[in-house]
Structures are given as C-alpha cells and as structure tokens.
Amino acid sequence: MGKASASKKIKRVQAAGVSRSPGQRRNIAFPALIVGILIVGSLLTFFARDYRKGERADAPVVNKDHWHAAFAVQLCGLFQDNEPAPDNSDGIHIHSDKLIHIHPYVKDAAGKNATFGVFARNADIKLGDGKFTLANGKTYANGDKCTDEAGKETKGRVALYVWPPQATSKTKPEVYTEDIGKVRFAEQGMAFVLSFGPEGTEPKLPPTIGNLQNPNDSDEAPPETTTTAPATSAPDASTPDTSAPETSEPGATSTTTKSGD
C-alpha cells in the first residue's frame, strides 16, 4: 500500500470522528442534564436524611409510639431476672414479658428524653458515677471484687452495653461507661445489658432478646379481682334488711334474702 493511500485513510477516519463542522457550537444540553440530575438527587438525599433525623429526634412520641427493648442486668457473668414494674406515670417500664416497654405518656419521657435513666428510675435502679444500686439495695462499683462461676476473683467494671435492632451474636455493642443514664431509646427493638463484670469481657445479648418477637403490650398486673359480690347485690350485715316482709316468722332474729327469691 502506498503512502498516499494510507494518508487518505487516516484523513477519512479523522473526518468520521468529527461530529461538527468548523465554527459549530458543541451541544452541551446532555451534559448539563446529567449534572442537573446529580444535583437534584443529592439534594433529595440530603433532605430525606435530614427529615429522618428529625423523626428520630422526636420519637418515641407521646401516646403514639410503643417500642420494645430487650434488657437484663448481668453481675459477674450471671444474668439476673427482670422484675416487672408497669405502674408509673411516664410510660417506660418492664412488663410481664421482661421487656422494656417504651410508650411515653408525658414529654419528659419522649423523644430525646426517652433515656435509660428514666427507665432505671422506674425500675428502682439508682445510677451513679461508675456504680449502680439495684432495687434490693446492693451496690456495684468500679473496682469492687467480682467472682465468676469458676471462683476466679477480679476487679469489676460498670458498663452499659447497647445493641441496635436486629442484632445477632456477631453484632458488636456500643459500650458506655459514663453518663449511662443519658443513653437514649432511639429505635424500636434495641437491646441493653447493665453489667458489672471484669473489664475486657463482653456480655452476650440479654436472654429476653427472643421476647421481642412476641411482646406483651398489656400490663401484667391487672386490678385485683375478688369473689365478693358487689355491695348492691347482697345486704349489708351491719344494717337492717328492708327487703324482707315485715311479717316474718315468730322468733326469727334476722332475715336473709336468697338469690333467686
């Protein structure tokens, strides 16, 4: 092939790659459209994320949200049983399912105020700086002796372990050693363990984690019922029975009206 033929082919290829004639403006509509789509998408993502943050800041909402959280106290490796405590005025407490129920009745227990400290107060758990006192009056503090099941004695540490919703045994918890009472109930289905144990050891998920699948939203301590008939259905022994006829049998000292008479 001669040099002239090769030169012509190169020129044809170069000409084919030129989509506009000399002096013609480049079409920028399509690139501008792409840029516009990217900007709008970014803005929508930003506002949506900001809106979700706003929703979480307000939740749980008074007389609207009803969340559940798994919970347990662990002492030197041993989980303790949860005591139901449903009767309070703010709505963060334990039901018979041994879960924490978060359904605030007042603003002081809603939104950013829905904290572990509110629950602890209702459960009669006193939180302090590096220590806590349970309802039975026993106090556990940083540096106190901790003896495990094997009889090994170490120094204990107070910490609150918090797992996100849908946590598994492989999920790493957040660990709080200060301001435990300020930790929020931020989502439905979280898990909490208030622990006193050797530093460096990590508790497992609380035993109540499975109860999140079937929580009991009713109070476990309904008003007591008795077999005593209502006052309006039986005469009062301290007052005369006016329901009987005045002409009772001679010698009778009292008259009782039987049901169905």
Task: Flag whether 18 is in a domain.
Answer: no
Q: What range defines the domain where residue 90 resides? A: 67-212
| Whole-angstrom distance, CA of residue 248 vs CA of residue 257 | 12
**Does residue 16 or residue 214 have the better pLDDT?**
214
> Please, which residues bridge with residue 191 across strands?
70, 163
Task: Flag whether 96 is in a domain.
Answer: yes
Q: What is the pLDDT of residues 42-84, one digit of tens each?
A: 665 554 444 344 446 789 999 999 999 999 999 999 999 988 7
Contacts of 107 (CB under 8 A, 6+ apart): 62, 113
Q: What is the pLDDT of residues 201-220, one digit of tens each?
A: 899 999 999 999 999 987 54
Task: Flag whether 172 is in a domain.
Answer: yes
**Does residue 17 or residue 230 have the better pLDDT?**
17
Task: Flag whether 83 is in a domain.
Answer: yes
Task: Flag whether 225 is in a domain.
Answer: no
> Please, which residues bridge with residue 154 across strands?
146
Task: Flag whether 252 is in a domain.
Answer: no
Number of domains the chain is built from: 1
Task: Flag whether 17 is in a domain.
Answer: no
Beta strand spans in the chain (E): 67-75, 78-79, 92-94, 100-102, 126-128, 131-133, 139-141, 145-147, 153-163, 174-176, 191-198
pLDDT of 97 above 60: yes
* Residue of 191, 204, 200, 205 whose CA lies nearest to 157: 200
Contacts of 79 (CB under 8 A, 6+ apart): 72, 73, 203, 206, 207
Which amino acid, 74?
A: Q
Task: Flag whether 182 is in a domain.
Answer: yes
**Does residue 230 or residue 3 have the better pLDDT?**
3
**Does residue 18 or residue 169 have the better pLDDT?**
169
